[in-house]
Chain A
């Protein structure tokens, strides 16, 4: 199993550009989520999904969209990139209700100029 995979590993955007960060898992996990990591702030939850077709907002959802059309994939879309979105983004998955361990992808380092 590849576990949780993310692409790209690195990305540089200009202010106002849009892009999609890809996340996939091959563990048949029901729950998936996106976090951003900023120095001194740990990881903060952006959006999450408890199953295909079901998404909800986390702590810092503004400027990001998600959808979950399949169990395996959970892309994160930046609609109009801003310098404040410069961060490292992690996707995670967990098995489902009652299984609290989350498995993390390797991250995407995004710089917005």
Chain B
């Protein structure tokens, strides 16, 4: 069975500071990994994904994530936080059957002025 753990349900950073959201996964097969963002009262929007190939993945809004197989991690980073980055972020791993996703519990990012 696959599982995803997001360390820290709430993360607070100052505007301009580095954003680091942690995600660890377990999977018995090579994983497909995703980060989604959810703004208040909205659906989920794909930030970035890892399927195969380059382990450093760049996404929208300046975010990137690195797939580290040895650490079973897929942490999300952004060099400089912006107020508009305040949202909830979800890490997910894909099943082989039907492309279905297993999600982590989510991390709410707060950005202080």
Using a CB–CB cutoff of 8 Å, the interface residues on chain A facing chain B are 4, 31, 33, 35, 40-45, 48-50, 56, 58, 90, 92, 94, 96-97, 99-107
Does B28 sit within 8 A of A, measured CB to CB?
no
The answer to whether A43 and B103 have CB atoms under 8 Å apart is: yes
Complexed CA–CA distance, A102 and B101 (Å): 8
Contacts of A56 in B (CB 8 A): 97-98
Contacts of B49 in A (CB 8 A): 100-101
Interface size range on B against A: 20 to 34
- B32-44 CB mask vs A (1 if < 8 Å, else 0) is 1010100000111
- B84-113 CB mask vs A (1 if < 8 Å, else 0) is 000000101010011111111110000000
The answer to whether B90 and A43 have CB atoms under 8 Å apart is: yes
Given contacts A90-B44, A100-B51, contact A45 B106 (CB under 8 A): no
Closest to A41 in B: B105
Q: Which of B4, B92, B103 is the most central at the interface, judged by chain A CB atoms within 10 Å of its CB?
A: B103
Complexed CA–CA distance, A101 and B101 (Å): 9
Please tell me which one of the listed residues B32, B43, B97, B105 contacts residue A90 in the complex, with CB atoms under 8 A apart.
B43
Given contacts A100-B94, A106-B43, contact A33 B100 (CB under 8 A): yes
Contacts of B45 in A (CB 8 A): 104
What distance in Å separates the Cβ of B108 from its nearest Cβ neighbour in chain A? 10
Does B83 sit within 8 A of A, measured CB to CB?
no
Beyond A42-B106, A44-B103, A45-B101, list 4 extra A-B contacts (CB 8 Å): A40-B106, A58-B100, A96-B99, A106-B43
What distance in Å separates the Cβ of B36 from its nearest Cβ neighbour in chain A? 8
What distance in Å separates the Cβ of B95 from its nearest Cβ neighbour in chain A? 9
The answer to whether A45 and B43 have CB atoms under 8 Å apart is: no
What distance in Å separates the Cβ of B68 from its nearest Cβ neighbour in chain A? 19
